Structures are given as structure tokens and as C-alpha cells.
Amino acid sequence: MTAAEDYLLLGLRLGRHVEGLVDSYCGPPELKEQADAEEPVAPAQLAADAASLRDRLDDGWLRDQVVGCWTYARVLAGEQLSYSDEVEGCYGVRPGRTPEAVYEQAHAELDELLPGEGSLLERKLAWRERQLCPGDRAIAVLADLLPLLRSRTLEVVDLPESERVTLDPVSGEPWWAFNYYQGGLHSHVVVNTDVPTTGLDVLHLGSHEVYPGHHTEHALKEHLLGVEETIQLVPTPQAVVSEGIAEVGGDVVLDDAAREQAYAVIRGHGLELPDPGLAERIKRAGDALGTIGVNVALMIHEDGASVDDGVEYAARWGLRPLDEARRSVSFVTDPTWRAYTITYSAGEDLCRAYIGDDRSRLRRLLTEHVRVGELSSR
């Protein structure tokens, strides 16, 4: 087999141990049949196999992916890595703690911006409450926003003619939404109706999960690149770039005129929208709270804090009710996802700095293998 096929088989074998580790697979069916038919390969053997494959590869994107698999296999095998070493080994970026002074400053800005009376948390919740979109309606709003998002994405990159997306609601998950890439240029996007969602949230969801985010990236790379792109593995650097694209892409493709069109779609579903300028300032102030998940993960996994301590921290600094904070902490304690939280904040920071004002760089991220090390060296 080729090195790329060995990598696919390694990822499929790892996936036998942890549900959801293989985000999607649309590669050679005989490899999946082989992995499914055999007895699960012991994690220690998978770590050895990954190390052997790593040593066969030249320095490059595929080697980075294999290092992520090697790190994760070692953790599965019981090797005592620190949480920071696990994250860095999987994703190529080391988690750092955000000083609470950053969150204090964000709270101060939000205190000035959020209207109404009461505590900061009460005003934030009231602000969102006025804009909430019932879960079943979120799917309809999303469906109506996608044509606009697709047309604006086409101004940056050509899409394969037969790409398509299906949408469905789900509940009882630790995440807000998920793109299950099916292969054949098709994505199945599901939205967790348990999570309180506003019209503006749905706009972000559409750009994150579909155009120009995950669906766009997966379809283009399946269409343009080699067999190694036919598997999406959670604990690999690929995820950092993918989440970065998804977080930043909407800001790149949507100018002021497009946003006004999107707002009209949202209002057309009977949803309240705030003043766009005020909403943007509130969003930007709140973006500084996006690293709270990393802080909580470090507290729990390195400092020995309890889950309840993590929930209290997430609720306090994230300005969240306890049930929402508990859901977010469940993400960083889930065996599959505990290291993944770094991908959102680090991916966004790296990709935003890389793209700058050059839309062609978004096209490159969507269509080429760009390494995390290349982004972090800029």
C-alpha cells in the first residue's frame, strides 16, 4: 500500500477504539472493510505503527497528520502525557492560559454596550432572549440563508457542480452543530435544537458548517486533492485549519451588502434583529471570551480542578447560565473531544492572521494542504 493508504488504515483502526474519532471517511471501501472486519488493533501497536509510518514520510502535511495519530494512540495506550503535550502533539499548537484580565476587559466592554437594567449576565441573556429562534425554525432560516452564502463563496472559489447539503435537527449532543461529510461532495449538517440560537447565530452557523466553511472545504479537497483527504480525523492538525476556515470564512465572503441581504432573510422568518452596528460591537467584545474552554480544560486536566469548578468558571467568565456552562464543559471532558477545544480559538487566530485582506488566501486554505506550522510561522 501507499503511505497515504497506510495513513487511512491507521486512522480507521484508531476509530475502532473511540466513537466519533473518524469524523468522516469516503476513501477506498476495501480499507474500511478491512478495519471493520479485523479484531481491534491494540493502541500500543497503533502507536508503533504510527511511529513507523511517520519515519517513512518526508516533512510535510501528511507527516503532521500521522504525528497527531501517533500522539492520540499513545494516550489511548495509557502513556501519561500532560494535557498540553497531548494537545500540541495532536494539533501542532500548544494551549496557553488566557489571563482573566482579558475577560474582565471584555466584561467591561459588554457592560457599556448591552442595553437594559440588571446584572451583566441578566442583560446578556435578555439581549439574546429577544432574538432567539425556535429550534425547529432554525433549520428553515438556515436553508434560506445558504443560497446567499453559496453565491458569495463562489466569488472567492469555484465549487464542484454536484456538491450538495442536507439539513436536519438533533438533540442531546455536547455540540451546537455538526457537518457529517458523506463523500461524493455531499454533507449532512445537523443542528442541536437544545442550544439557544439567534438569527445571527444561524448566519454564523451557515458560514461555519457549509459556505465557505466545512462543507466547502471538504468538497473541494475531495475533488482536488489526493486520497489522504478522504478521511477526517479529530485529533490531527487538519482540524485546526478546518475550524479556522469555518470561523473566519464568513467574514471574508460577506461584505456589508451581503450582510444586509442575510438580515432581510432572517427578518423574513419573523425574528427580531438588533441594530447591526451594535450587534457587531457586542459580538467583537464577546469574541475575547472564546478561549474560556481552553482555560477550563487546563484547569481540569492539568490543575486537577473538578468538573463543578470548571462549570462555575465557564458560567462566570462566559456569562452563561449553569446549564449552558455544564454543556460546554462536557465538551472538554468528553474522551473524543477534550483536546479539540484548542482548534477553534487557535484556528481562528492563525487563519485570520494568514488571510488578512487577501481573499485569495482563503481560496488557498480551501483548496490546498496548508500546514499549521506554516500558519504559525507568519
pTM value? 0.93
In a shared domain, residues 159 and 75: no
Residue 374: per-residue pLDDT: 92
134 against 15, higher pLDDT = 15
In a shared domain, residues 164 and 246: yes
Residue 377, pLDDT > 70, answer: no
Q: Could you give the number of structural domains in the chain?
A: 2
Q: How much is the average pLDDT of 320-329?
A: 91
In a shared domain, residues 256 and 359: yes
For residue 193, is it within any domain? yes
Which amino acid type is present at position 66?
A: V
226 against 371, higher pLDDT = 371
Q: How much is the average pLDDT of 359-377?
A: 93
CB 307 within 8 A of CB 300: yes
Domain termination site, one of 41, 63, 81: 81
In a shared domain, residues 267 and 146: yes
What range does the domain containing 34 cover? 3-81
Confidence of residue 218 (pLDDT cuts 50, 70, 90): very high
For residue 107, is it within any domain? no
* % residues pLDDT > 90 (the chain): 85
Residue 264: per-residue pLDDT: 94
CA distances 329 to 130, 233, 251, 318, 325, Å, are 26, 22, 28, 11, 6
In a shared domain, residues 249 and 378: yes
Domain termination site, one of 66, 81, 96: 81
Convert the pLDDT of each residue in 136-171 to its tens digit.
789 999 999 999 999 999 999 999 999 999 999 998
Give the strand pairing for 132-133 and 186-192. unpaired
Q: How much helix, strand and coil, in percent to the nearest 5, is found in the chain?
A: 60, 10, 30
Write down the mean pLDDT value for the chain: 94
298 against 178, higher pLDDT = 298
Angle between helices 238-253 and 359-367 (to 10 degrees): 140
Tell me how far apart the alpha carbons of residues 345 and 244 are, in angstroms, rounded to a whole number. 8
For residue 307, is it within any domain? no
Phi, psi (deg, nearest 5) at residue 377? -85, -5
In a shared domain, residues 266 and 158: yes
Q: Which of 134, 143, 115 is nearest to 271 (CA)?
A: 134
Convert the pLDDT of each residue in 244-287 to its tens digit.
999 999 999 999 999 999 999 999 999 888 888 898 899 899 99
In a shared domain, residues 367 and 231: yes
Q: How far apart are the first and last CA of the chain?
A: 36
In a shared domain, residues 200 and 77: no
Q: How much is the average pLDDT of 118-130?
A: 93
In a shared domain, residues 189 and 262: yes
* % residues pLDDT > 70 (the chain): 99
Give the lowest-confidence range in 104-108, 114-118, 190-194: 190-194
For residue 153, is it within any domain? yes
Residue 335: per-residue pLDDT: 81
What are the grid coordinates assigned to 3, written together? 503511505
In a shared domain, residues 140 and 76: no
